[in-house]
Amino acid sequence: MKKKIGTLIEENTMRLAKRKAAEEGRALSDLIQDALVQYLSPGTENAKEREMAYHLFCERPFKLTPEQFRDLLEEDPWDL
């Protein structure tokens, strides 16, 4: 059963999410639902990526190799 919620999201984030939903021909609520499920699912690749990101940005901020920095700039954050 679905439940209606209210939340605040940055304008730019919402604009990107709406664009992605439109490109995929799906409802915005479905896109957000899938993103949350994927983010909250234990044992997925995302858990490993989040841990790696934590180590890179929180334990050693700004100590990225040039290759890591280039990869981050080229990465599409909305490509789930």
Q: Please tell me whether residues 49 and 70 are part of one structural domain.
A: yes
Cα(39)–Cα(61) distance, integer angstroms: 23
Higher per-residue pLDDT: 39 or 6: 6
Indicate whether 49 belongs to any domain: yes
Indicate whether 31 belongs to any domain: yes
Q: Please tell me whether residues 13 and 36 are part of one structural domain.
A: yes
Q: Please tell me whether residues 35 and 49 are part of one structural domain.
A: no
Q: Are 32 and 18 in contact (CB under 8 A)?
A: no
pLDDT value for 35: 86
Indicate whether 13 belongs to any domain: yes
pLDDT value for 66: 80
pTM for this model (two decimals):
0.51
Higher per-residue pLDDT: 2 or 56: 2
Q: Please tell me whether residues 36 and 13 are part of one structural domain.
A: yes
Indicate whether 64 belongs to any domain: yes
pLDDT digits (tens, 9 = 90+) for 7-35: 888 898 899 999 999 999 999 999 999 88
Mean pLDDT of 53-72: 72
pLDDT value for 14: 92
Residue type, 23: E
CB atoms within 10 A of CB 6: 4
Number of domains in the chain: 2
Range of the domain at 49: 45-75
Q: Considering just the CA atoms, what is the radius of gyration of the chain in Å?
A: 15
